[in-house]
Amino acid sequence: MLVLPLATAPVVERARTPRAGVLIGTLVLAILTFQLNATLLSAALPAVGAQLGESMQDVARIQSVFFLSGAVFGMVFSRWSDFLGRKRSLVIVLTVLLIGTVICALAPSLPLLLLGRVLQGASNATFTISFLLLSERLNNRLFGISVGIITSVNGGLFGVDGFLGGYVTDTIGWRFLFVITLCLGLVAISCVALFVPKDEPPTQDGSMDWWGAGILSLFLVLLTSLISQASSAGWADPLTMGYLVGATVSAVAFVLVESRTRRPLIPIHALRSRQVWPLLLSTVLTLAGVFSALNFTVVMLSQNDQVGYGLTASMSALLYLTPTALVGVTAAIFSGWIAVRIGWITSLRLSSGVIALITAGLAVFAMDRWMVFGLLIVMGVFYLGLFQSSVNGVSVLNSPPEARGALPGLNGACFGIGIGTGIALVAPVVAAGTVAGFQTALWISVGLTLASFLASLILRPAA
C-alpha cells in the first residue's frame, strides 16, 4: 500500500476532530460549482442551439471551451496554490466562477456565452486544490475515504442534476440553469471563507513559474484546437497544420524553459517518468472516450426524432444521465476505501479495462435503448466511481515532492483536455444525424478507452 508523503502526527490528529467533516463538506460545495456547471447544461444543448440560432457543432463548443478553460485554470491554480495558499486560491477561483456565471446568464449571443464559460472553467481548480488540502490534513486511510467522497461529486447531486437540467430547460428555460449555479457559488465561497482553515506557511518558497504556466497553457489550447480542426477539416487543412506547428513549438519551448527554471511548474525528469506521463495519458484518453459517449453522443441520439429514440430533454436526462450518475455517486463513496485495500494503481487498471469493454458494448448495441440504459448504469460504477477516485488518488501520491501541486494540477488539466478532445472528435460525425454517424462516434470512444487501458499498464507507483 502506498504511503502518503508529508503526513505528520499533528495533522493526523487534527483530521480526527469533527472539524474534518465540516472541511470535507465545504470542499464538496466548492466542487459542486464546477460539476453542476458541467452536467446541468448537457441536456440543454439542443435548446441553446435552437434559441441562439446555432448549429449543433457550434453549440458543442459551449462544453468543449468550458473544459478546455478548466484544464488551463486547474493546472495554473493548483501549482500556484503551493505558493499562494490553498484557501486563498479557492476564494479567487470561486470569484472568477461567479463573474463568468453572470455573463452566461445574460449572454445574448454564442460568443458572449462562450466567454462566460471560459471564466466558469476556473472552477475546475476546486478539485485539485481540495485533494491537495486533504492530503496535507488527513492520514492515509482517511485520505482514501475522502478521495472517494470528493470524487462522488463527479456524479453531481446523485444524478438528479441531469434530470433537473432537462426539466428546467423544458419548463423555465436554459438560462435559469445559470441562476441555480450562481446561488450555489455564493454559498460555496461563503463557506470557504468561514470554514476552511487559514493558510499555513506555503509548501514552497520562491515564486510561481509564470513562464512555464503560460507556455503550457498555450500548448494545451493549441493541442485541443489542433484535434478539433483536424477532425472537421482534415490534416491537410492549412489551419490544422498551423495548429500542429504551434503545438510542437510550444511543447519544445516548455521543455527548454522548465529545464532552466529554479522552481519549474513540474520537473522535466518527473514528467518523463513512468510515474507521471502514463497517468496523464490514461486520464486524457478515458475522459475523451467516456464523456463524449455518455454526455454527448448518447444524449444527442436519444433526442433525435429521425433515427434516435425521440425523447425530450428531460426524459433523455432521466433515462441516460440520472441513473448513471446516481450509481456512480454511490460507488464513488466506497471507491477510495477499495483503492486503499487493493492498491491505487491496481484499482486504476481494473476500472480502465472494464470501461473499455462497456464502451464497446455501447457501440454494438447503440440502437437498443434499453441495452444502452443498462450498460450506462454499469459504466457509472467503474467510471464515475472506481476510475475517477483511483486516478485522483494516484495524482496526489505520485506527485514529485518538490512540486506537490504539479501532478494533481496537470491531471486536472487532462480531465478538461480529454473531455474537450473527445467532443471535438465525435461532434462532426454526430452532427450528421445518421445511425452510421452515431455508431462511428461510439467506436471512436472505444478506441480511446482501449488506449487508456494500455497506458495504465505502463504506469508505476512512486517510490
Residues 300 and 159 in one domain: yes
pTM for this prediction = 0.74
Taking residues 440-459, report their average pLDDT: 94
Give the whole-angstrom CA distance, residue 226 versus residue 374.
35
* 396 assigned to some structural domain: yes
Residue 83 is predicted with a pLDDT of 85
Q: What is the residue-wise DSSP string for 388-432?
A: HHHHHHHHHHTS-TT-TTHHHHHHHHHHHHHHHHHHHHHHHHHTT
Residue 109 is predicted with a pLDDT of 87
Per-residue cell: 222 = 493549441
Do the Cβ atoms of 393 and 341 come closer than 8 Å? no
pLDDT digits (tens, 9 = 90+) for 125-135: 898 898 888 88
Residues 225 and 297 in one domain: no
Do the Cβ atoms of 1 and 343 come closer than 8 Å? yes
pLDDT category of residue 370 using cuts at 50, 70 and 90: very high
Give the whole-angstrom CA distance, residue 107 versus residue 124.
22
Residues 244 and 215 in one domain: yes
Out of 223, 246, 262, pick the residue that ends a domain: 262
Residues 187 and 56 in one domain: yes
Residues 348 and 281 in one domain: yes
CATH number at residue 83: 1.20.1250.20
Q: Which residues of 170-205 are buried (b: 16+ CB within 10 A; e: fewer)?
A: beeebbebbebbbebbeebbebbeeebeeeeeebee
User: Between these two residues, 167 and 463, which has the higher pLDDT value?
Assistant: 167
Residues 120 and 41 in one domain: yes
Residues 182 and 299 in one domain: yes
In which domain, by residue range, is 169 found? 9-199+263-458
Do the Cβ atoms of 29 and 151 come closer than 8 Å? no
Size (the chain), residues: 463
Out of 243, 262, 281, pick the residue that ends a domain: 262
Q: Is 8 left (phi over 0), alpha (psi -120 to 50) or beta?
A: beta
Residues 221 and 269 in one domain: no
Residues 306 and 214 in one domain: no
Residues 72 and 172 in one domain: yes
Total number of domains constituting the chain: 2
Taking residues 262-284, report their average pLDDT: 88
**What is the phi/psi pair of residue 77, to 5°?**
-70, -35
Give the largest Cα separation in the chain, rounded.
63
